[in-house]
């Protein structure tokens, strides 16, 4: 079963794998910053990093969605029940919505703030504010927080499901999204 992951068509493309792990690392770090920024030292100016990383996640997620629409994912393991396939598809599309919705709600929130703070991409160039007022900014603040918690919960379920497949069911679900490690032996 795990050996099947090496067969052509049973793994995600290199592009999908690169998108997956880059976005995953950015989201996990940004969730940590967002959830725990108040408990970090005050001289750590983390919110500008949080905002810039959020915009990065938004751009990468839109690119990833485009990639996904142009490239079929590998098939599910044959033994996977229909209900689990449906649940996996629903979870993946919900993750796409959250990967776009959370940073977009954050951008709306800072754009509609009563007092706008600088918005830039890691200090390299300014980012435009969206043309919204304080009422949208306030609603976006609530949405950003709720969607952030929903993202954290769904990511936990996603990770636990991947580990279940790998450690308990012993199928190739996790292996097919892992980057291939280069070996010193010729192929």
List, for residues 163-186, the tens digit of each pLDDT value. 999 999 998 889 999 998 554 444
**CA gap 51, 33 in Å, rounded:** 10
pLDDT the model gives residue 182:
53
- Helix crossing, 46-70 with 82-111: angle to 10°? 140
Asked if residue 15 belongs to a domain, the reply is no
pTM for the whole structure: 0.87
Asked if residue 13 belongs to a domain, the reply is no
**CA gap 64, 125 in Å, rounded:** 23
Q: For 125, phi and psi rounded to 5 degrees? A: -160, 150
Helices first, then strands: H and E counts in the chain: 4, 2
Asked if residue 5 belongs to a domain, the reply is no
Q: What CATH number does residue 145 fall under? A: 1.20.950
Asked if residue 181 belongs to a domain, the reply is no
Give the lowest-confidence range in 21-25, 36-40, 156-160, 170-174: 36-40
Asked if residue 103 belongs to a domain, the reply is yes
Domain that holds residue 132: 20-69+78-172
- Please check the confidence at residue 42 and state whether its pLDDT lies above 80: no
Distance of CA 103 to CAs 2, 11, 31, Å? 36, 29, 11
pLDDT in tens, 111-124: 999 999 989 999 99
Exposure pattern of 73-93 as b/e (b: 16+ CB <10 Å)?
A: ebebbeebeeebeeebeeeee
pLDDT the model gives residue 78:
84
Asked if residue 158 belongs to a domain, the reply is yes
Q: What value does the mean pLDDT take over residues 79-101? A: 95
pLDDT the model gives residue 103:
98
Asked if residue 166 belongs to a domain, the reply is yes
DSSP string across 122-141: TTTEE-PPPS--HHHHHHHH
pLDDT the model gives residue 3:
38
Domains held by the chain: number: 1
Are 159 and 24 contacting, i.e. CB atoms less than 8 angstroms apart?
no
Structure tokens belonging to residue 125: 């160039």
Asked if residue 144 belongs to a domain, the reply is yes
Percent share of the chain, pLDDT over 70: 91
**CA gap 82, 38 in Å, rounded:** 43
- Please check the confidence at residue 82 and state whether its pLDDT lies above 60: yes
pLDDT the model gives residue 106:
97
- Please check the confidence at residue 34 and state whether its pLDDT lies above 60: yes
């Amino acid at each position: 079963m795990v050996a099947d992951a090496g067969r052509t068509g049973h793994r995600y493309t290199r592009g999908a794998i690169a998108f997956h792990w880059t976005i995953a690392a950015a989201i996990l770090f940004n969730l940590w910053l967002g959830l725990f920024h108040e408990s970090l030292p005050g001289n750590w100016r983390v919110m500008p990093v949080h905002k810039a990383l959020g915009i990065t996640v938004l751009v990468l997620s839109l690119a990833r969605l485009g990639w996904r629409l142009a490239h079929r994912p590998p098939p599910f393991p044959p033994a996977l029940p229909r209900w689990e396939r449906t649940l996996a598809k629903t979870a993946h599309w919900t993750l796409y919505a959250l990967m776009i919705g959370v940073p977009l709600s954050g951008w709306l929130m800072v754009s509609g703030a009563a007092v706008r703070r600088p918005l830039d991409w890691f200090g390299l160039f300014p980012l435009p504010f969206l043309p919204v007022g304080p009422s949208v900014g306030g609603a976006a603040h609530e949405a950003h927080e709720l969607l952030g918690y929903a993202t954290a919960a769904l990511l936990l379920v996603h990770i636990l499901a991947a580990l279940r497949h790998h450690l308990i069911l012993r199928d190739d679900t996790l292996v097919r999204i892992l980057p291939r490690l280069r070996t010193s032996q010729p192929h």
